[in-house]
Chain A
Amino acid sequence: ETGVTQSPTHLIKTRGQQVTLRCSSQSGHNTVSWYQQALGQGPQFIFQYYREEENGRGNFPPRFSGLQFPNYSSELNVNALELDDSALYLCASSPGSGGFVGELFFGEGSRLTVL
């Protein structure tokens, strides 16, 4: 059984650019959530996908968007990058059915630095 994997692990972008982060969920998990963790803070919920549909969203602007694919892998896209977008982006999967999520299994994260 493979765990949650994310890519890339580190990347550096400049303000105004766009970034795509990728996540492969744990085998058998059909729900994927994305969290942003700024330095010294707790993870903040961005959105959740179940069966290729967004079914929950946190307080993030529309320039944060996502996709889930038929194999349950997922992408997080951020447009028009700002300095404050610098953070660790965590993907988490769970075997939930789109409703109650229960335990989240996190990937190691993608650390984004915006200069």
Chain B
Amino acid sequence: GENVEQHPSTLSVQEGDSAVIKCTYSDSASNYFPWYKQELGKRPQLIIDIRSNVGEKKDQRIAVTLNKTAKHFSLHITETQPEDSAVYFCAPYNTDKLIFGTGTRLQVFP
């Protein structure tokens, strides 16, 4: 089955710094690549997504880049704020479902 890995598993940054999380997947048929944010005790929420015919997408402080050849996509957060602290999941779409990665815990210190 699809193998999805995220790195790093934890990430601590100072407020205002940038954060990058990388997601590697195995199935070349995946064609939709979202990132979800999950705060403690809350539901996962979509923060940005990209489709396989696009290389990069930005939404204010958040961006996602996709390298289909190398089978990885990355989440970029600039000017981090304490409220960005959460667990982030990549979830490439495979056949009929999203396959979630193991998550990256981001801590932003004031």
Q: B-contacting residues of A (Cβ < 8 Å)? A: 33, 35, 40-45, 48, 55-56, 58-59, 90, 99-104, 106-109
Q: Which residues of B lie under 8 Å from residue A45 when comparing CB positions?
A: 97-99
CB-CB under 8 A for A104 and B46, given A33-B97, A43-B100, A56-B95: yes
Given A41-B103, A102-B32, A109 and B43 contact (CB-CB distance below 8 Å): yes
* Interface status of B89 (Cβ within 8 A of chain A): yes
B42, B49, B100: the one contacting A103 at CB < 8 Å is B49
A-B contact count (CB 8 A): 50
Residue of A nearest to B101 (CB): A42
CB neighbors of A among B23-78 (8 A): 32, 34, 42-46, 49
In terms of DSSP, what is the predominant structure of the interface of chain A? Answer: loop
User: Which of B49, B89, B97 has the most chain A CB atoms inside 10 A of its CB?
Assistant: B97
B110 CB within 8 Å of chain A: no
Interface size on B, residues (CB 8 A): 21
Instruction: Report B-chain residues with C-beta under 8 Å of the C-beta of A41.
Output: 102-103
Q: A100-B93, A101-B93, A102-B32 are in contact. List 11 more A-B contacts (CB 8 A).
A: A41-B102, A41-B103, A42-B102, A42-B103, A44-B100, A90-B43, A90-B44, A99-B96, A106-B45, A108-B42, A108-B43
Instruction: Indicate which residue in B91, B93, B97, B101 contacts A58 across the interface (CB closer than 8 Å).
Output: B97
Please, how many angstroms separate the alpha-carbon atoms of A102 and B99 in the complex?
12
Contact indicator B89/A43 (Cβ below 8 Å): yes
B10-32 residues with Cβ-Cβ distance < 8 A to A are 32
A43: B residues at CB distance < 8 A? 44, 89, 100
Q: Say how far A64's CB is from chain B's closest CB, in angstroms.
A: 14
Residues of B close to A103: CB separation below 8 A: 34, 46, 49
**Docked pose: A72 CA to B1 CA in angstroms:** 29
Can you list 9 residue pairs at the A/B interface with Cβ under 8 Å? Answer: A42-B100, A55-B96, A56-B95, A100-B32, A101-B93, A101-B97, A101-B98, A106-B43, A107-B43
